[in-house]
Structure 1
């Protein structure tokens, strides 16, 4: 495969898009399509598993998998949305009450009276904060709308790709010369296998972390332990950075209970990360593609700066793709090394 003939058109296209200001939007669209293809690999893997272990045909198994996923996604969105809306309202009420109580307590001290606002000023400030919160809420709803649109696009791209996977693979293979098509097919099969193993590892980690988080927060009497467990499970999809993001809402809600509870939550998250690093991750590495942590973090930071959230989420699977291409097409084909390196811990 002559990569030099492909490299220059790609560089020229990137330069044109960069000058015209379309590079970042184009990358965002490509990453959205890549996320859809990744979801398609997930659906295809579930349908293949059902086909191998049941008398169902692939099309029937595919429809069954898609139906179950739709029901799970719909139920999860409804539950999380209802819980979040209810709790945000409670938090705002508690914040108002706490601010007024703190002001009244400080008024008891003579030196603080000249610095503290009176009751009318407090109400005015809370009203202004409410207007600001309303503007922020509109911005948040706009972002949620874009996120939902992206999720719908990802779902349908994945569904179409999983419904007829060979159609798209064969179409891509035919873009290459006949003498190279066999090798391209091998590379695509290896990419699908590597991404499938990475998805299996991520799903196993997400499930275990979500269950342990919900149980731990329930014992600590933190509000919404199941909801926070689901959030932690979803954010575990992002290696390295996801667990840190998942700890933020846990600590904020724990502060509502008490400072001591918040400290316990922080300690719990540190312990959970230790369990994941030394127990969960080694246990599932036989299924998951082993990614170099430094390379993964660097890719997450770079993609996050350039593209944003979608770049952070897709950085790890893109590293998987890069590893497969380098090992198969450069180390093995170009350098002639028959053992370019195992992609898993096996």
Structure 2
């Protein structure tokens, strides 16, 4: 026969002192935070892949919503059109431009390496650089970037990671409210309405940010190609070597503010000086003209309609994410800081008294 409740003694895990119980709860919270931080570090690669998939889902959702303004059909069909357009672009690039671009990439790599070697030789002759080679710079660069992203350390890993992000993005974009409700289910009932408000605001901000980035990438790539063609005609060389590839890289790297513009400029100027000093100075002019046009005309115009982020804040986030998580962290730095800013802005709009008066339950509208 089991003893009655009055006859049972306190167990070793039962704490009767309320003050001690309170201190134990605080200690457990701190231990949980430390374990969470350790888990983030250890699981950095899969977490980044999931984050990349979420960003891709936002892009698909934004395209679906935009298409809905001109095509009054069901959301599933619009999403299918956007996905097919994405895969169509990837397929077209691979089949019709892939071989040519791969050859141009090899030429561009050799050209840039040769120009950097010439720069180092010149620096050693004047005593500015001592015993520094291209190989040492490459070793230092790749050793310091991406220490925890071993899953993306090989070409096969990069392809696998890209496929996983695409698959996650498609699933999330297909039923965004399903995952929204799943996360909200783990929260207290009274906080769920606020979570939905923050989630909607973050999604809205990210859609506008990514739409602005894509528009800026397109404008910058096309404008670079036009300017390089004009410069080639002006100096009498017919066509600028690898103009299409340089324009493509400039457009793609424009997704990464600050860092992307610098990298594309180095590639463009190196290719120009490989032809002649005149072509090199013209390449510098093209780079400065395109970046100033983008910085003073395109970006302010886009920023008025999207998330306006401070350049120093974005650069600091890129440095931290790039150092910790490599190229994928660098790519996701901008969307992450925009999401954090949007979440904090929306959270600060509600005072504690107002949040306490929120209803316990809320039915989510169908998308």
Shorter-normalised TM-score: what interval? 0.7 to 0.9
Which residue number in structure 1 is paired with residue 207 of structure 2? 196
Is contact 2:322–2:329 with CA below 8 Å preserved after alignment? Answer: yes
Which residue number in structure 2 is paired with residue 276 of structure 1? 294
1:56 is paired with a residue whose SS is coil
Distance in 1 between residues matched to 2:337 and 2:65, nearest whole Å: 25
2:69 is paired with a residue whose SS is helix
- TM-score calculated relative to the size of structure 1: 0.75
Distance in 2 between residues matched to 1:257 and 1:35, nearest whole Å: 39
Which residue number in structure 1 is paired with residue 63 of structure 2? 46
Distance in 2 between residues matched to 1:159 and 1:5, nearest whole Å: 41
Distance in 2 between residues matched to 1:93 and 1:204, nearest whole Å: 31
Which residue of 160, 183, 198 corresponds with 2:194? 183
Distance in 2 between residues matched to 1:57 and 1:171, nearest whole Å: 24
State the superposition RMSD in angstroms: 3.1
Which residue number in structure 2 is paired with residue 299 of structure 1? 317
2:73 is paired with a residue whose SS is coil
1:321 aligns with 2:343: no
Structure number, greater radius of gyration: 2
> How many aligned positions are there?
288
Deviations 1:226-261 (A, max 9, x none): 222111111100111111111222223223322221
Which residue number in structure 2 is paired with residue 258 of structure 1? 276
Which residue number in structure 2 is paired with residue 70 of structure 1? 87
Distance in 2 between residues matched to 1:218 and 1:202, nearest whole Å: 24
Please, which moves more after superposition, 270-279 or 6-15? 6-15
Question: C-alpha displacement at 1:62, in angstroms?
Answer: 1.0
Superposed counterparts of 1:11-26, under 5 Å: 11-17=33-39, 23-24=40-41, 26=43
Distance in 2 between residues matched to 1:94 and 1:313, nearest whole Å: 26
Distance in 2 between residues matched to 1:250 and 1:156, nearest whole Å: 34
Distance in 1 between residues matched to 2:274 and 2:251, nearest whole Å: 22
1:206 aligns with 2:224: no
Distance in 1 between residues matched to 2:353 and 2:225, nearest whole Å: 49
Superposed counterparts of 1:62-141, under 5 Å: 62-87=79-104
Distance in 1 between residues matched to 2:281 and 2:209, nearest whole Å: 33
- TM-score calculated relative to the size of structure 2: 0.71
Is contact 2:201–2:343 with CA below 8 Å preserved after alignment? Answer: no
Which residue of 40, 46, 51 corresponds with 1:29? 46
Distance in 1 between residues matched to 2:335 and 2:76, nearest whole Å: 27
Which residue of 42, 47, 56 corresponds with 2:73? 56
Deviations 1:164-221 (A, max 9, x none): 1111111111111111111111010001001011011101111110110111122233
Can you give the 5+ residue segments of structure 2 that lack an aligned partner in the other structure? 1-25, 113-134, 136-151, 233-239, 355-367
Distance in 1 between residues matched to 2:353 and 2:290, nearest whole Å: 42
1:307 is paired with a residue whose SS is helix
Which residue number in structure 1 is paired with residue 245 of structure 2? 227
Distance in 1 between residues matched to 2:101 and 2:318, nearest whole Å: 28
Which residue number in structure 2 is paired with residue 137 of structure 1? none
Distance 1:257 1:45, change over 3 A: same
Distance 1:253 1:7, change over 3 A: farther
Structure with the bigger RCO (C-alpha within 8 Å, sep 6+) is 2
Deviations 1:66-108 (A, max 9, x none): 111101012224455312332356579999xxxxxxxxxxxxx
Is contact 1:24–1:306 with CA below 8 Å preserved after alignment? Answer: no
Distance 1:192 1:50, change over 3 A: same
Which residue of 146, 155, 158 corresponds with 2:157? 146
Is contact 1:36–1:156 with CA below 8 Å preserved after alignment? Answer: yes
Distance in 2 between residues matched to 1:88 and 1:210, nearest whole Å: 17
Is contact 2:253–2:264 with CA below 8 Å preserved after alignment? Answer: yes
Which residue number in structure 2 is paired with residue 160 of structure 1? 171
Is contact 2:221–2:247 with CA below 8 Å preserved after alignment? Answer: yes
Distance in 1 between residues matched to 2:70 and 2:173, nearest whole Å: 18
